[in-house]
Amino acid sequence: MPAPSSADTKYLESHGSKWRVVVNVPRQLKGKLGTKLKRALGTDSLSEANRLKWDVIAELKAIIEQAQNPTMTKDAAIALARVKAMEEARRLSRQRLLALTSHERQRIDDHIEDRAEHFAGEPIGVGDMGVAEYEPERDALAMQFMAIAKNAETPVDFHHDRYMSMANVKARTAADDHRAIKHLKSWCDTKGLPATLQSITKREAVRFCDDLHELVGTRDPATLNKYVSRLSVYWTWLEKRHEVEFNVWRNRRFNKPMQTTDQKERPFTDKEMKALLTGSASQAMHDVMRVAALSGARLDAIVCLRVKDCRNNTFIFKPQKKEPGSRLCPIHPDLNEIISRRSEGKEDDDDIFPEWPGPKKSTSLRERSFKTSNQFTEYRREMGVDDQKEGKRRSLVNFHSFRRWFATKAEQADQAEGIIAAVIGHKRNGITLGIYSAGPLLEQARRCVEAVKLPVLPT
């Protein structure tokens, strides 16, 4: 259980019998300001020190910020002060939620009210009924600070960091989560709406969806649905934790326009397959294409194969999309030479396709196969294999067409639909071909794979 805020020593150190505030100075400013800024609080009570420290911390950090930005404009300083006030409100809100006793909560509420008075500043006049009047912007800031700190209003991203820490998603999906929140906050700002959970009603969710294409810069339903879906997952998490009453994004989806048969992405034809498999591509590209054509695997799963993933005439492909775990796929006999050649003299953890090592930056959200895909697209176009339709972002034939070709050929070879789905990793009911599969199912999968034959190529 977290310690109560009165026992917190963050930004505090004992000096003699009294407490004082200590704030570290950034390395680039140590020559100018010293290593630390310190200010005595004049109290030996840790509880009292925690009540007093925040004003002092704000002042010391303002000194650091001024030293970092000596030419900061007044508007920029005001905007920064507002950000700091909201950060403080969120911190106090958490402390209030964690308070163990009513006395502790009252102490925090008293501090919140003191800080709100500080943000409001001195009265600028007296209105009707003798009520003090304050500068409007400062008064609005004080009221918003009070609402957030006392949990009456909750910023839409207040719980988002915690949600993301518990979400088991890939880096690219996590980036979509953050962009979805950014779009929502930006939209609230343009509409003059508080970016709080309480403000996002069903009606506002509909209005946001109506305007989302302007924020994203496209009307593509798949892109718009991606962001609405991430907001819906977040709100579902909030609903389960009783932070919101219901998920306002539930069933909010953009309908995809109906596609005719000639507008859908398709498998390669045998003629296109022959062109691709006999062209002047690199050996690595020829090997990748053949593995794709004779396994139905996705490109990234192929490029990420290691030597130990190709043992016992069986591939172990890493999880893709919503697959719960790694997936087995029998190795087609026509691929044995490729796997043997690429495994020779290597250790278990070495790459089968070292030609594409993936992004160098650890922070990159691109899949390892990003460059492979680009190189294949260039090669495919050079070979005259293309099917571009007006209004479609990409060609109806692409690397994924190898996967479609495999499924088509397996079906034409009278293989069971469920076995084909198990081999290529499609969503299926009642059939699992995982790491520990054995017996008839794996043998059925092997027969399915071996039923697919490459077109006869000219010698």
Per residue in 114-145, pLDDT tens? Answer: 888 888 888 888 777 777 787 888 888 888 88
pLDDT: is 64 or 376 the higher one?
A: 376
Per-residue confidence band for 430, with pLDDT thresholds at 50, 70 and 90: very low
118, 171: one domain: no
Cα–Cα distance for residue pair 387/372, rounded to 1 Å:
20
The predicted-structure confidence for 140-175, as pLDDT tens digits, reads as follows: 888 888 888 887 788 898 888 889 988 888 888 889
The answer to whether residue 250 is domain-embedded is: no
The CA–CA distances, whole Å, from 369 to 74, 280, 304, 359 equal: 48, 20, 8, 9
pLDDT: is 450 or 421 the higher one?
A: 450
Per-residue confidence band for 233, with pLDDT thresholds at 50, 70 and 90: very high
pLDDT: is 45 or 228 the higher one?
A: 228
Cα–Cα distance for residue pair 180/178, rounded to 1 Å:
5
The answer to whether residue 353 is domain-embedded is: yes
CATH of the domain at 404: 1.10.443.10
Per-residue confidence band for 225, with pLDDT thresholds at 50, 70 and 90: very high
| Residue 132 domain boundaries | 5-149
83, 228: one domain: no
Cα–Cα distance for residue pair 437/354, rounded to 1 Å:
29
pLDDT: is 331 or 442 the higher one?
A: 331
The answer to whether residue 363 is domain-embedded is: yes
Q: Is the dihedral of CA 255, 404, 314, 301 positive or negative?
A: negative
- State the pLDDT at residue 2: 43
315, 421: one domain: yes
Q: Which one of 61-65, 203-207, 326-330 scores highest in mean pLDDT? A: 203-207
The answer to whether residue 259 is domain-embedded is: no
275, 398: one domain: yes
- Mean pLDDT is lowest, of 4-13, 173-182, 262-271, 396-405, for 4-13
- Dihedral class, residue 205 (left if φ above 0, else alpha if ψ from -120 to 50, else beta): alpha
76, 188: one domain: no
Give the domain-ending residue among 149, 182, 202. 149
Per-residue confidence band for 1, with pLDDT thresholds at 50, 70 and 90: very low
pLDDT(261) > 70: no
The answer to whether residue 444 is domain-embedded is: yes
Cα–Cα distance for residue pair 453/282, rounded to 1 Å:
22
Q: How many domains does the chain have?
A: 3
Please report, rounded to a whole number, the percentage of residues in the chain having pLDDT higher than 70. Answer: 89
- Mean pLDDT is lowest, of 52-66, 87-101, 395-409, 429-443, for 429-443
Q: What is the mean pLDDT of residues 406-432?
A: 82
- State the pLDDT at residue 260: 52
- State the pLDDT at residue 170: 80
- State the pLDDT at residue 122: 83
pLDDT(176) > 70: yes
pLDDT: is 279 or 97 the higher one?
A: 279
118, 208: one domain: no
Q: What is the mean pLDDT of the chain?
A: 85
The predicted-structure confidence for 353-377, as pLDDT tens digits, reads as follows: 999 998 877 667 788 899 999 999 9
pLDDT(6) > 70: no
3-class SS letters over the chain? CCCCHHHCCCCEEEECCEEEEEEECCHHHHHHHCCEEEEEEEECCHHHHHHHHHHHHHHHHHHHHHHHCCCCCHHHHHHHHHHHHHHHHHHHHHHHHHCCCHHHHHHHHHHHHHHHHHHHCCCCEECHHHCEECCHHHHHHHHHHHHHHCCCCCECCCCHHHHHHHCCCCHHHHHHHHHHHHHHHHHHHHHCCCCECCCCCHHHHHHHHHHHHHHHCCCCHHHHHHHHHHHHHHHHHHHHCCCCCCCCCCCCCCCCCCCCHHHCCCCCCHHHHHHHHHCCCCHHHHHHHHHHHCCCCCHHHHHCCEHHHHCCCEEEECCCCCCCCCEEEECCHHHHHHHHHHHCCCCCCCECCCCCCCCCCCCCCCCCCHHHHHHHHHHHHHCCCCCCCCCCCCCCCCCHHHHHHHHHHHHHCCCCHHHHHHHHCCCCCCCCCCCCCCCHHHHHHHHHHHCCCCCCCCC
pLDDT(3) > 50: no
370, 275: one domain: yes
Closest CA relative to residue 197, chosen from 237, 229, 255, 141: 237
399, 338: one domain: yes
Are 310 and 330 in contact, with CB atoms under 8 Å apart? no
pLDDT: is 428 or 401 the higher one?
A: 401
pLDDT: is 60 or 286 the higher one?
A: 286
Please report, rounded to a whole number, the percentage of residues in the chain having pLDDT higher than 90. Answer: 43
